[in-house]
Amino acid sequence: MVRGRGVAFLPPFREAVLSLRAHAAKLVARPVGRLQGRTRAPGDKSISHRALMFGALALGETTISGLLEGEDVLATAAALRALGAEVTHERDTSPVSGGAWRVRGFGVGGAREPADVLELGNSGTSARLLAGILASHPFTSVMTGDASLRRRPMRRVIEPLTRMGARFEGRDGGRLPLAIVGTDEMVPIEYRLPVASAQVKSAILLAGLNTAGETSVIEPEATRDHTERMMRHFGAEVRVAPAEDGGKRITVVGWPELLGRDIVVPGDPSSAAFAVVAAAIRPGSDVTVENVGVNPLRAGLYQTLRDMGADIAFENEREVGGEPVADLRVKGGGLKGVEVPAERAPSMIDEYPILAIAAACAKGTTRMLGLAELRAKESDRLASVSAGLSANGVEHEMGAADLVVHGTGAPPAGGGLVATQLDHRIAMSFLVLGLAAREPVAIDDGSPIETSFPGFARLMNGLGARIGADIEAA
């Protein structure tokens, strides 16, 4: 266990302020009394990636509204253009929608060889899902990304796609830059996921679209099902059935003719989580986040917050583009510590950093189990969260795959400078902590936030937060 015990680990906030002067990308969050108002989260990142990809794999035109215009999704759009899709953006004056995106696709198996290396920035979703598309085309392509993405493991997609017939050449551990030698003679497989990963599942199913016969993935634990839902929406035959030895089998029938469709992207539940938790930990707050996707396979955080005593109501529940959607109304109050079971991790794997902030403000001990997958994200998120909690006076213990946070029910000390490790969720989570701590909290680099949540500080400040680079005021 690695233990963090309060102010013994707490760097003086004055030193953080002096350091902040030299780097404009650094941000500070200052304590506030309460948050109030209505807002709307940006488009769901997972669905945005998939909408662009399926639009490219379809014949005809796909129109997408509500697309997340963060750097990760824009990297996917650029890669699809390099493969031959026409991707255009028609802006409007709406601060919510941003205008329609139109994709004229090349069809299943119709991508062209890219003229240059595909630069994917920080987007692991782009890299892993595109690997499935590229593997099933008879040309060689190369993917790379920023320093964070080049550290992330790709072997988990390389192994099943190699079994299907593609070849890969990459750095030690299968890391980017990665050359993919694809083939149009892929072999269908049945593959049992060794770890719960919607990205690996999606890569195999995407390759299966351009493979004769039936390709199946068996998942022992349910993961987000946006790929299966969208495949059906575009016209593919997808079957889901119980697996003989537990879990479920997802099967796609190869060589469908996908046709362009209209897609409405709901608000991202992972992005909405920051405003939801910020309101839940500030007594007297009353915040509504509109148009949030509440797919049961993505809603683990909200179930956990309710277990902790949070006042969260799902209002105006409806279905948009095949996905369940609701407006989330949150009223602030006291939270209590709980145990979060390991089996809940697949439904909230991206939300553990912000859950750790809620736990730091709760009364009692919160145990989060089954977190090994956090070590393979944009950063080693488990270690990054632990370091951030230590820097801000929060007592906790970190294990190989678990995190135990001891909240007192009082505002945490704060006052720390948090190293984000180029991880957008670490950055936003500790800015939320700064709203509830006794002293301001600084992050060393706010620029990664743009990968998934453009305008994060502006949205939060519209609810009453105090986030910015105003060092003197901090």
Chain segment 287-300, per-residue pLDDT in tens: 999 999 999 999 99
In angstroms, the Cα distances linking 31 to 37, 215, 365 are: 18, 52, 23
Contact 402, 367 (CB under 8 A): yes
Q: pTM for the full model?
A: 0.84
Q: Is the pLDDT of residue 473 over 70?
A: no
Pick the more confident residue, 35 or 173. Answer: 35
Angle between helical axes of 226-234 and 45-57 (0-180°, round to 10): 30
Give the distance from CA 438 to its chain's centroid.
29
Q: Is the pLDDT of residue 314 over 60?
A: yes
Cα 352 to Cα 468: distance, rounded to the nearest angstrom: 24
∠118-121-125 over CA atoms, to 5°?
85
Averaged confidence pLDDT in the chain: 91
Residue 203 identity: A
In angstroms, the Cα distances linking 311 to 268, 274, 314, 378, 391 are: 20, 15, 10, 31, 29
Which residues are registered as beta bridge partners of 398?
2, 403
Under the banding of pLDDT at 50, 70 and 90, the label for residue 9 is: very low
Contact 217, 249 (CB under 8 A): yes
Q: What's the pLDDT score for residue 15?
A: 40
Under the banding of pLDDT at 50, 70 and 90, the label for residue 316 is: very high
Which residues are registered as beta bridge partners of 27?
443
Could you identify the residue written with the tokens 């912000």?
354
| 116 noted as active-site residue | no
Give φ, ψ of 3 to 5 degrees.
Answer: -105, 140
Give φ, ψ of 350 to 5 degrees.
Answer: -80, -10
Cα 265 to Cα 263: distance, rounded to the nearest angstrom: 6
Picking from 239, 260, 235, the residue whose alpha carbon sits closest to that of residue 248 is: 239
Q: Is the pLDDT of residue 17 over 70?
A: no
Q: What's the pLDDT score for residue 261?
A: 95
Cα 369 to Cα 349: distance, rounded to the nearest angstrom: 11
Cα 449 to Cα 429: distance, rounded to the nearest angstrom: 11
Q: Is the pLDDT of residue 238 over 60?
A: yes
Q: Write down the catalytic residue from 350, 423, 444, 445.
A: 350
Domains along the sequence of the chain with CATH: 2-42+266-468 (3.65.10.10), 45-264 (3.65.10.10)
Q: What's the pLDDT score for residue 21?
A: 35
